[in-house]
Amino acid sequence: MSKFLSSKYASLEPYTPGEQPKTQVLTKLNTNESPFPPAPEVVSAVKEAAENLQLYPDPDCTELRKAIAAVQGVDPDEIICNNGSDETIYFAFLAYCDSGKPAVFPKITYGFYPVFADITGVKYREVPLKEDFSIDPEDYYDAEGAVFIANPNAPTGIPLSLDQIEGILQHNRDNVVVIDEAYVDFGTESAVPLVAKYDNLLVVQTFSKSRSMAGMRLGYGIGNKDLIADLNALRFSTNPYNIDRLAIAAGIASLEHDEVNREHCRAVMENREYTVDELGKMGFEMTPSTANFIFVRHPEIHGSELFRRLRERGVIIRHWDKPELADYNRITIGSREQMDILLREVKDILSEEVAK
Ligand code: PMP
């Protein structure tokens, strides 16, 4: 840290993204990316858009919002596009929380929420999960500020039902409720249909996971037109060109070929069920995940030990040192081949444990 940094950032603890290895990795299952590349039409659209990079992109993302609106069944004015859904969530912290209005979110959830609260100078309350790692929706009724819930939650993968989300919305008429649907397309019901009914709902989605575009940085929020106008005021006060020409072109092409994305999601869900079955046979305990990852522990081997031994064998999964998570690992669901490599190596490590 330099001597020039403002004292307000002195104690900032930045978010730590999952490792992006510099050397060739055999099996990367640590950051919930898709194992599949985007449709070839997405790649062609990016190449074509690259020919006009001398020009600024459309700051209103008009064509992209129209394409999202058509797929989501909402009005284009109910959509804001952002540089990854992280940016949408960041803007929601800026817009809907302040010193008098704290943020409220689960104690175990996406690790960026407390970081956004810190950098925006917002106090927050972390609500414990139930013993089985699920969220009790009633814990969020009549919250003292904006509510942030990942659905399904991370890193557990456990979803709330639409009725449970609606309960939270009904009991927070004066608070914005942000539902972060980064992983919704792998088997969770989306809250987008509730946008028409609740002016306090902001749904956040991304192209990073189910649309194979983590490398592009494209996310969006869907909410009542007034909420979107708030967020746009912040966007136009920071970086109106936050979505570049390549991302706009890729997003539109991806939605035009959304059947390819849905097929990829189906494959990931099948691979998830397969992996859950196989790990279950080996004695793993798992939360019931509807995401493209699973949250697992084994009674015979500590989470950090399994993480380390898999890494030595070229398989990277995600581990956190936090005491409440340390026994567990989060494993991204990849292709069938990747899952077979994981299962083979895990079996081998467990048999070494038994032989000790
Ligand atoms: N929400 C959750 C729960 C996530 O896990 C992630 C990915 N790390 C994001 C939002 C942000 O994704 P992106 O910025 O790539 O859209």
User: Which residue among 105, 180, 242 is best mutated to probe the pocket of ligand 1, counting the most ligand atoms within 8 A of its Cβ?
Assistant: 180
Atom of ligand 1 nearest to the CA of 217: 15
User: Which residue among 20, 34, 112, 213 is best mutated to probe the pocket of ligand 1, counting the most ligand atoms within 8 A of its Cβ?
Assistant: 112
Residue 68: its H or E element = helix 62-72
Q: How far apart are CA 34 and CA 206, in angstroms?
A: 12
DSSP label of 184: G
Contact at 8 Å (CB) between 182 and 154? yes
The whole-number pLDDT of residue 25 equals: 67
In tens digits, the chain (356 residues) has pLDDT values of: 888 888 888 888 988 888 787 766 689 999 999 999 999 999 999 999 999 999 999 999 999 999 999 999 999 999 999 999 999 999 999 999 998 899 999 999 999 999 999 999 999 999 999 999 999 999 999 999 999 999 999 999 999 999 999 999 999 999 999 999 999 999 999 999 999 999 999 999 999 999 999 999 999 999 999 999 999 999 999 999 999 999 999 999 999 999 999 999 999 999 999 999 999 999 999 999 999 999 999 999 999 999 999 999 999 999 999 999 999 999 999 999 999 999 999 999 999 877 77
Q: How far apart are CA 241 and CA 82, in angstroms?
A: 9
Dihedral class, residue 336 (left if φ above 0, else alpha if ψ from -120 to 50, else beta) = alpha
Q: How far is the CA of 181 from the centre of ligand 1 (A)?
A: 9
Q: How far apart are CA 60 and CA 62, in angstroms?
A: 5
- Provide the CA 284 distance to its chain's centre, in angstroms: 24
Q: How far apart are CA 310 and CA 302, in angstroms?
A: 12
User: Which residue among 85, 105, 333 is best mutated to probe the pocket of ligand 1, counting the most ligand atoms within 8 A of its Cβ?
Assistant: 85
The whole-number pLDDT of residue 290 equals: 98
Contact at 8 Å (CB) between 291 and 302? no
Contact at 8 Å (CB) between 221 and 204? yes
Say if strands 293-297 and 329-332 run parallel, antiparallel, or are unpaired: antiparallel
The whole-number pLDDT of residue 27 equals: 94
The whole-number pLDDT of residue 354 equals: 72
Q: At 231, is the secondary structure helix, strand, or coil?
A: helix
Of 136, 144, 135, the residue nearest 108 (C-alpha): 135
Q: How far apart are CA 317 and CA 325, in angstroms?
A: 14
φ and ψ at residue 106, rounded to 5 degrees: -65, 155
Our answer on whether the CB atom of 214 is closer than 6 Å to any ligand 1 atom is yes
Our answer on whether the CB atom of 216 is closer than 6 Å to any ligand 1 atom is no
Which residue matches tokens 């898999």?
Answer: 310
Q: In what order do the strands lie in the sheet with 285-286?
A: 285-286, 293-297, 329-332
Q: How far apart are CA 347 and CA 283, in angstroms?
A: 11
Atom of ligand 1 nearest to the CA of 86: 14
Measured CA distances, 234 to 79, 87, 92, 93, 272 (Å): 14, 11, 9, 11, 39
Our answer on whether the CB atom of 105 is closer than 6 Å to any ligand 1 atom is no
Of 324, 345, 349, 337, the residue nearest 155 (C-alpha): 324
The whole-number pLDDT of residue 100 equals: 87
Of 338, 342, 329, 272, the residue nearest 298 (C-alpha): 329
